[in-house]
Amino acid sequence: MTTRVAMWSGPRNISTALMRSWEARGDSAVCDEPLYACYLQTTGRDHPGAAEVIAHHETDWRLVTEALTRGVVPGAKPIFYQKHMAHHLLPAIERRWITSLVNCFLIRDPRAMLTSLVKVIPNPTVEETGLPQQVELFDAERDRTGRVPPVLDGRDVRTDPAGMLRSLCAAVGVAYTDRMLAWPPGPRPTDGIWARHWYDAVHRSTGFAPYALKPDAVPSHLAAVLAECQGLYDRLAEYRLRPCPAAEPSSPPNRAS
């Protein structure tokens, strides 16, 4: 039986590094932002390489979601890890297919996220951060299952990668492995065609970069966006996973002399 893990993130987080981490396991197929081409075609957003993304990736969300939920998993791997941007889930895309996935949420402090996002999108809306969609999905998943879905904070992962990945693996029902902590540098065939515009840092990486506080300030014209994002982030951050320590090695039994 295949475990299909959907990680719903917003932009400018560690989502691609986390995808690398799951691919490094060896037992996981990965999928990179499968709804991006549909999002670009529908919205007309002027993202880097948009025309190329639309030309090379599937734009029909029905075909995409069929492959994500019932399609053959590449390499017949037992785990299918799907990296999703929550804002790519446009209102016209129906949601029933999501219930067949193990849904998780990757969040980032809004100040750090926005100061990074404005370097690419100077005037982002709240919807372009993915936070409203993450909250919508989180609430729907909790109501449907009666359980709190896994929430992962990017800062926590960078502070304690092993501890947080142990917690995440336990939450989705798969075994943790230290192979998730490191990967070789460079691009991957599994990267979206947009990688050359967005993934320079990830292509240089060999693991999760340590957390470092950024001094950048959010531009004043985005004060209202920041305030709304902060409220949405706080709702999810309340439920974020805590690091799980490594299991203590078992002691040999005492024997009578």
Question: Which tens digits make up the pLDDT trace of 113-162?
Answer: 999 999 888 999 999 999 999 999 999 999 999 999 999 999 999 999 99
Q: Is the dihedral angle over the CA atoms 12, 153, 111, 226 positive or is it negative?
A: positive
Task: Report the C-alpha gap between 68 and 70 in whole angstroms.
Answer: 6
Task: Report the C-alpha gap between 136 and 172 in whole angstroms.
Answer: 20
Q: Dmax over Cα atoms in the chain, in whole Å?
A: 78
Task: Report the C-alpha gap between 160 and 57 in whole angstroms.
Answer: 35
State both tokens at 148.
Answer: 């709190």
Q: Where would I find the H helices in the chain? A: 15-23, 36-43, 50-56, 61-70, 110-117, 131-145, 154-159, 161-172, 195-198, 200-204, 223-237
CB 39 within 8 A of CB 114: no
Beginning with the edge strand found earlier in the chain, give each strand of the sheet holding 151-153 in spatial order: 28-32, 79-85, 3-9, 102-107, 151-153
Q: What residue spans define the domains of the chain?
A: 3-237
**What pLDDT, on a 0 to 100 scale, did the predictor assign at position 71?**
85
**What pLDDT, on a 0 to 100 scale, did the predictor assign at position 253?**
43
DSSP-based three-state secondary structure for 138: helix
CB 167 within 8 A of CB 245: no
CB 171 within 8 A of CB 150: yes
| pLDDT 10s digits, 230-252 | 999 999 999 999 999 887 554 44
**What pLDDT, on a 0 to 100 scale, did the predictor assign at position 214?**
81
Q: Residue 6's beta-bridge partner residues? A: 82, 103
**What pLDDT, on a 0 to 100 scale, did the predictor assign at position 213?**
85
State phi, psi for 117 to the nearest 5 degrees: -65, -35
Fold classification of 3-237 (topology level): Rossmann fold (3.40.50)
As a residue count, the chain comes to 257
State both tokens at 91.
Answer: 């209102």
Neighbouring C-beta atoms of residue 132, cutoff 10 Å = 18
Q: Residue 3's beta-bridge partner residues? A: 79
**What pLDDT, on a 0 to 100 scale, did the predictor assign at position 248?**
56
**What pLDDT, on a 0 to 100 scale, did the predictor assign at position 1?**
83
Beta strand 28-32 pairing with 151-153: unpaired
Task: Report the C-alpha gap between 177 and 107 in whole angstroms.
Answer: 23
**What pLDDT, on a 0 to 100 scale, did the predictor assign at position 245?**
87
State phi, psi for 10 to the nearest 5 degrees: -115, 175
Counting as low any pLDDT under 70, the low residues of the chain are 248-257
**What pLDDT, on a 0 to 100 scale, did the predictor assign at position 196?**
92
**What pLDDT, on a 0 to 100 scale, did the predictor assign at position 120?**
84
